[in-house]
Amino acid sequence: MVQLVYCLTMSTYTKPSGLFTLGITAGQAWELPSESTISADRLDVYHRRSRRELYRKMESLLGTQGKDGRACILKAICRAARRNRTETRKGAFLEEIMNVVFSLPGKLDDADTVTEYEKAYYCRENCGEMEERCPDAF
């Protein structure tokens, strides 16, 4: 099993004297596919499904911080969908990471179910509403 792990550490405003520093660390791990048996024509569907799992986990993580996790994820997806393709690779490092994580691959497939995530990305519905419900998550 191969995993991708992202950890974010933020220091606190107080710094005790001595060797120790107080901080907050948030971590998230994603299992990377280890089988190469997915057919090329179903790859987009596989990627969308794995992104859905990731988004659900991120919603829970944001919920523990007192935020509306679903609104924050949908807002990030809307922002990624609105980004012009000519802007790719011109942003800051974290901006590019966010764009990759929240961009959905390919086009909608009739064989795959359409969730709120796909609606937010392909139809760009309710982006303004999500901005109001999640002003500062990312």
Across the chain, which has 138 residues, the per-10-residue mean pLDDT values are 71 64 72 65 76 90 88 89 78 85 74 78 72 78
Taking the domains of the chain in order of start, what are their residue ranges?
A: 2-32, 40-133
Please state the separation of Cα 73 from the chain's center in Å: 6
Cβ-contact 114, 108 below 8 angstroms: yes
Q: What is the pLDDT of residue 55?
A: 92
